[in-house]
């Protein structure tokens, strides 16, 4: 990493830490006018988002395993800044769904898969670690952009229901903290992409095609749940647009040669799979 790029990233993390501390729990107004309506309309969405946010504990374990020698600025970002903000998001959303009469989320906070451990073993070779870092940044961009779009829809939906207190004191502050995370991943990915050798870029594309999935969807049940989120937030009829929004930079960095490609096919295929699994389940979300 060049000194200029490193300095830019350090300054960006400094700004996040100084200007956007974790959302204070006592700043949230949990007044809900019609809990039963909120539960029916957004209960499943809140559970999914709370679980994903609370699973950052596991995500940090995975990063510590995958990246044996990451840049110092990366460690500071995901350990000291991103982690604490996301955990607070999960706590706030989980409390809300319990107020609505739903059970608490059941996040997996400590399982590190065999695939992650294998990547970590291979990442002791610097060229491989660069590929793993690139995959981390690409996943981070997709995740954060998905979160912003979901929170936009959730915020608008709550306002439509007249639930202004929770929309403005919980969803809006959470939503504001996601774009700076996205910016960190984008800055990092653009800088690293320019230094990958042809074989590293090829392998990154190959692995990405084989492993891409919606945020928080690690098995068929969770993929179906993600389809439920898309349905509840009225996003299922615009999957191509959603796919383009969450993968635009990835498309430009990895697939620049494929002129006219709007969305990587593996992104759209995975989104359609989530909808198909949700519909096949046949039970309300």
The model's pLDDT over 192-234, given as tens digits with 9 standing for 90+, comes to: 999 999 999 999 999 999 999 999 999 999 999 999 999 999 9
Q: Once rounded to an integer, what is the mean pLDDT over residues 238-263?
A: 85
The model's pLDDT over 178-201, given as tens digits with 9 standing for 90+, comes to: 999 999 999 999 999 999 999 999
Average of per-residue pLDDT values in the chain: 95
Are 130 and 72 within 8 A, CB to CB?
Answer: no
pLDDT at 5: 83
Residue 275 CB-density burial (10 A; 0-12 exposed, 13-18 middle, 19+ buried): buried
pLDDT at 260: 62
Whether pLDDT at 259 is above 80: no
pLDDT at 175: 97
Query: What domains can you pick out in the chain, each with its CATH number?
Result: 3-281 (1.10.620)
Confidence band, pLDDT 50/70/90 cuts, at residue 127:
very high
Q: Is the backbone of residue 282 left (phi > 0), alpha (psi -120 to 50) or beta? A: left
* pLDDT > 90 in the chain, percent: 91
pLDDT at 209: 94
């Amino acid at each position: 990493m060049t000194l200029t790029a490193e300095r830019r990233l350090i300054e960006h993390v400094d700004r996040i830490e100084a200007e956007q501390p974790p959302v204070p729990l006592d700043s949230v107004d949990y007044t809900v006018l019609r809990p039963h309506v909120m539960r029916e309309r957004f209960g499943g969405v809140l559970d999914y988002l709370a679980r994903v946010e609370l699973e950052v504990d596991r995500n940090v374990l995975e990063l510590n395993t995958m990246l044996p020698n990451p840049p110092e600025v990366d460690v500071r970002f995901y350990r000291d800044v991103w982690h604490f903000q996301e955990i607070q998001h999960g706590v706030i959303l989980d409390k809300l769904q319990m107020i609505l009469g739903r059970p608490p989320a059941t996040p997996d906070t400590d399982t590190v898969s065999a695939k992650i451990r294998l990547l970590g073993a291979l990442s002791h070779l610097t060229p491989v670690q660069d590929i793993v870092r690139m995959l981390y940044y690409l996943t981070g961009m997709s995740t954060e952009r998905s979160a912003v779009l979901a929170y936009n829809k959730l915020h608008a939906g709550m306002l439509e229901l007249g639930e202004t207190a929770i929309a403005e004191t919980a969803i809006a502050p959470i939503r504001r903290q996601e774009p700076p995370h996205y910016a960190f991943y984008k800055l990092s990915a653009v800088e690293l992409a320019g230094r990958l050798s042809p074989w590293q870029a090829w392998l990154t594309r190959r692995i990405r095609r084989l492993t891409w999935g919606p945020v928080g969807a690690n098995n068929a049940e969770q993929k179906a749940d993600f389809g439920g989120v898309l349905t509840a937030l009225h996003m299922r009829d615009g999957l191509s647009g959603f796919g383009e929004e969450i993968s635009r930079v990835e498309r430009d960095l990895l697939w620049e040669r494929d002129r006219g490609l709007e969305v990587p096919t593996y992104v759209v295929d995975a989104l359609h799979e989530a909808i198909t699994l949700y519909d096949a389940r046949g039970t309300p979300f």
